[in-house]
Structure 1
Amino acid sequence: MYFQLRSYLNFLLKSQNQHGLHSPFVYDLVTKCFYDKSNYEQYDLIKNYRNDLLRNKEFIEVTDFGAGSRVFKSNKRPVFSIAKNAGITLHRAKLLYRLTNYLKVDKALELGTSLGIASSAIAANKNTGLISIEGCPETANIARQQVQKYQLNNIRLRVNEFEAELDLLIRKNQKFDLVYLDGNHQKKATLDYFEKLLPSAHNDSIFIFDDIHWSEEMEEAWEEIKLHPKVQVSIDTFQWGLVFFRKEQVKQHFTIRV
């Protein structure tokens, strides 16, 4: 907890809003997407999807492949508590929808479906096809029920370990406009997934890394990702790290309050 507090204070010292941004691309992204105050009708779907889960008192057995939980002491967990403590917030879910919409995302990939709140935010844009991978069968089962209930037919949910699915996607030479990584908050795994997914990126792709300030080693992973020669633009929003591969951009890093 002390580490994250220190990281957040450090973030606040470095961060800025739209003022003083010298990149037209990032300025437009911040003003027209990050700070877009429009009340999109798709927000209702995302909110209802999430609220459904917050009312769900069912207990499930969670198989955890990542860095574990700071909240839960047992793998037997109530769905509403997972949604509240481990799921994406409504504020972030709305931003994820706006990013998908603003960047006109056609094909998206998510590592770590969990209960599918972030999945619903991406797939609320019906023009976006999403492949979402989850390692835990019981968590994926809840997500599948929700996806069917809300008729999110543009989501393909796959239950498997990430490595096996990624190998399959890379062999098929799949390209993605958006990749959302929220499944394993460990340095080595994060860097391995990043390297493995690089061939699936094109010039206008965005990769979003969740919980980049989760731990010291996640911050180290984020620093390495920022410095990668293929990454041109990176944005730290504290919760997320966003990277772009736009060859026409000068390499720059931004720290933005959202």
Structure 2
Amino acid sequence: MFNSHTYLYLKFLAKSVSKHGVHSPFVYDLVTKCLNEKDKRLNKEVPKSTRIAKKVINYFNTTEYVFLKDSFCKINEVENLLEQFDNDSYMIIKDPYQSKSRRLLWNQLIQLETVSVSVDTFYLGLLFVRKEQPKQHFAIRV
């Protein structure tokens, strides 16, 4: 029988899409120019969530991001932080499916009004506050 993490991953695969299912130019560029790019410099020994995070940070080429890896964060603390974001800022959520508390936090974060775009790669979650874009959630296979 499957363990719960395997079950969650299979469930994610069933609802996720590749670049062909993305109808947002912003997210399509993120997928094709960042998430799907092969980078030989990134060691395969490094956890996939870390490899994806490094690709995202390099892609946006900015220091305006928050890397959230603590599952003990309170939703209102994160919401206050997101309200200070501009269009060039983003938040990285490490391993949103790692535990029940992280799944709950991830699901609460993507429902926040301040978050307009959320990208779920299973290994990593990305939150964007983009004023010009309607609220959308994407589950992307990488």
**TM bracket (short chain):** 0.7 to 0.9
Aligned positions of 1:1-258 closer than 5 A: 2-39=3-40, 43=41, 47=43, 89=47, 91-105=48-62, 107=63, 177-182=64-69, 184-186=70-72, 189-258=73-142
The Cα RMSD (Å) is: 2.3
Classify 1:192/1:225 alpha carbon distance in 2 versus 1 (closer, same or farther; 3 Å): same
Write out per-residue CA displacement over residues 131-188 of structure 1, whole angstroms, 9 at most, x where no aligned residue.
Answer: xxxxxxxxxxxxxxxxxxxxxxxxxxxxxxxxxxxxxxxxxxxxxx211111x224xx
- Structure 1: runs of 5+ lacking an equivalent: 52-87, 108-176
CA contact (8 A) 2:49 2:124 kept: no
- Structure 2: runs of 5+ lacking an equivalent: none
**SS of residue matched to 1:6:** helix
Shift of 1:230: 0.5
Distance 1:218 1:95 in 2: 18
Distance 1:38 1:214 in 2: 25
Classify 1:190/1:30 alpha carbon distance in 2 versus 1 (closer, same or farther; 3 Å): farther
- The one-letter code matched in structure 1 to 2:60 is L
Choose 1 or 2 for highest CA Rg.
Answer: 1
Shift of 1:207: 0.3
Give the TM-score taking structure 1 as reference length: 0.50
Write out per-residue CA displacement over residues 186-230 of structure 1, whole angstroms, 9 at most, x where no aligned residue.
Answer: 4xx252541342244212211011121122232121111001000
Give the TM-score taking structure 2 as reference length: 0.86
Distance 1:94 1:225 in 2: 23
Distance 1:97 1:213 in 2: 19
- The one-letter code matched in structure 2 to 1:23 is S
Moved over 3 A (4+): 91-94
Distance 1:204 1:35 in 2: 21
Distance 1:33 1:232 in 2: 20
State how many pairs are aligned.
Answer: 141
Identity of aligned residues (%): 39
**SS of residue matched to 2:91:** strand
Distance 2:23 2:32 in 1: 13
